[in-house]
Amino acid sequence: MFRTTTLTLMLAAVSLLVFSSPALAVSGAGAIALEFPIGARYNALGEAGTALAQDVTAMWWNPGAFAFATGAGKSNKRVHAMQSKLVPDLADDIALYWGGYAANSFGGTFGVSMTYLSMGSQEATNDAGEVIGTFDSNSWAFGMTYGTRITHNLGVGMTVKYFRDNLAPDEFTQDQVGGSGSTFAVDAGVLWKVPAIKSNIGVAISNLGPNITHVDADQSDPLPRKMTVGVAHSVYQSDIMSLLLVGDVLIPLLDWSSEKDDYGVGLDFGEDEFGVGAEWGYDNSLFIRFGYKKGTGDIEDATYGFGVDLDKWVGQAITFGFASVPQARGLDRVTRFSFGYDF
């Protein structure tokens, strides 16, 4: 009997992910697992971290900032992990997981990271509506990043990553093909520290690479290519308290070509996506964060969260972070949890 799939749950899940992704620049882009911001700290700050992130998560935000993640008074080896359920009000098994490792090596900072997006379990049926099997849908990306300091206050870096998604086994698709797809991408960035004005300025370009193809090239989807410009400013700093402000503006690098009937690489200033945030710190141990995010999918809402650094209390560089971020209208907010350890 010829087998096909209903994939109703899977398609619904993928659609929800597309519309709920706070950072998705263009609804036609594929590889949505690359678009979820990493790190509870920066999620709580309006999803702004291009000029602020100088830890393991800088591999996602800005490879140039990753140059400052180790050495010069910081630990030489660091790890970070983040977990977030994406539609907890609708499905428990749709979740994002991210892990990264950074080490001071090769005259700079070298790191590896893994992103894993679980899209849950699905049932496959035949033309008669009979269940003929079950399968899991997921996508993942493995990346390697290197950042180095050109001067004391200027860092540059690059990430190379491989992406693959597994929507369904080929034997469960109607044409027996197109259930999976893969591609590769490159990120690059620069971070400039300006002590005179107590500010950082960052610029990052992300996800430059070939379209992801499932069935054929004519039906391929572009990667979520984007440029992000960010600023971070220290308003106040003492041994007891600190206050900083951050802001990011996202500019899609997807330019629709009517002649080619496809997306090319080009600046799209028609999108209006930005995030701003403020972080108050006490005793270098407790951090309260608030922000505001405006993005596609009718997202305009506050972000908030907190962080704890246990180094002063337990003698171990252990950090925890929590963030609450908005989704598209009609969907519940989601929470993101982070854990970091330096050794």
CATH number at residue 194: 2.40.160.40
pLDDT top residue among 265 and 330:
330
* pLDDT, tens digit (0-9, with 9 covering 90-100), for 48-63: 999 999 999 999 999 9
Average pLDDT over residues 100-123: 93
Task: Look at residue 252 and tell me if it is in a domain.
Answer: yes
- Answer whether residue 260 shows pLDDT above 80: no
Distance CA 215, CA 153 (A): 47
* pLDDT, tens digit (0-9, with 9 covering 90-100), for 136-164: 889 999 999 999 999 999 999 999 999 99
Q: Report CA torsion sign: 300, 32, 55, 190.
A: negative
Residue 123 pLDDT grade (very low, low, confident, very high; cuts 50, 70, 90): confident
Task: Look at residue 31 and tell me if it is in a domain.
Answer: yes
| pLDDT, position 214 | 78
| pLDDT, position 2 | 31
Distance CA 91, CA 110 (A): 36
Which range is least confidently modeled, 60-74, 78-92, 123-137? 123-137
- Answer whether residue 132 shows pLDDT above 80: no
Task: Look at residue 237 and tell me if it is in a domain.
Answer: yes
| pLDDT, position 280 | 98
Contact (CB, 8 A) for 297 and 19? yes
pLDDT top residue among 302 and 17:
302
**Range of 209's domain?**
8-342
Which own/partner contact pairs does 301-305 have at CB distance under 8 Å and 24+ positions apart?
301/326, 301/333, 302/326, 303/43, 303/44, 303/45, 303/46, 303/47, 303/275, 303/277, 304/44, 305/40, 305/41, 305/43, 305/44, 305/336
Q: Report CA torsion sign: 184, 17, 216, 252.
A: negative
Task: Look at residue 1 and tell me if it is in a domain.
Answer: no
- Mapping DSSP to helix (H, G, I), strand (E, B) and coil, where does residue 332 land? coil
Q: How far is CA 70 from CA 13, 81, 104, 114, 185, in A?
A: 38, 17, 6, 19, 24
Within 8 A by CB and 6+ apart from 314, the residues are none
Report the percent of the chain where pLDDT is more than 70. 83
| pLDDT, position 126 | 74
| pLDDT, position 259 | 61
Task: Look at residue 2 and tell me if it is in a domain.
Answer: no
| pLDDT, position 8 | 37
Residue 176 pLDDT grade (very low, low, confident, very high; cuts 50, 70, 90): low
Within 8 A by CB and 6+ apart from 179, the residues are 166, 167, 168, 169, 170, 172, 173, 214
Task: Look at residue 155 and tell me if it is in a domain.
Answer: yes
Nearest one of 302, 276, 304, 312 to 288, comparing CA atoms: 304
Q: How many domains does the chain have?
A: 1
Q: How far is CA 210 from CA 21, 62, 265, in A?
A: 21, 21, 11
| pLDDT, position 257 | 59
Task: Look at residue 232 and tell me if it is in a domain.
Answer: yes
Q: Which residues pair with 41 in a beta bridge?
A: none
Distance CA 225, CA 222 (A): 8
Tell me what the pLDDT averaged over the chain comes to. 86
Task: Look at residue 3 and tell me if it is in a domain.
Answer: no
Residue 30 pLDDT grade (very low, low, confident, very high; cuts 50, 70, 90): confident
In the chain, which ranges are continuous DSSP H helix? 8-20, 40-44, 58-61, 311-314
- Answer whether residue 10 shows pLDDT above 50: no
Distance CA 235, CA 94 (A): 39
Q: Residue 232 is encoded by which pair of tokens? A: 């971070």
Average pLDDT over residues 16-27: 40
- Answer whether residue 175 shows pLDDT above 80: no
Nearest one of 263, 291, 259, 257 to 277, comparing CA atoms: 291
Threshold 0.75, pTM exceeds: yes
Residue 18 pLDDT grade (very low, low, confident, very high; cuts 50, 70, 90): very low
Residue 317 pLDDT grade (very low, low, confident, very high; cuts 50, 70, 90): very high
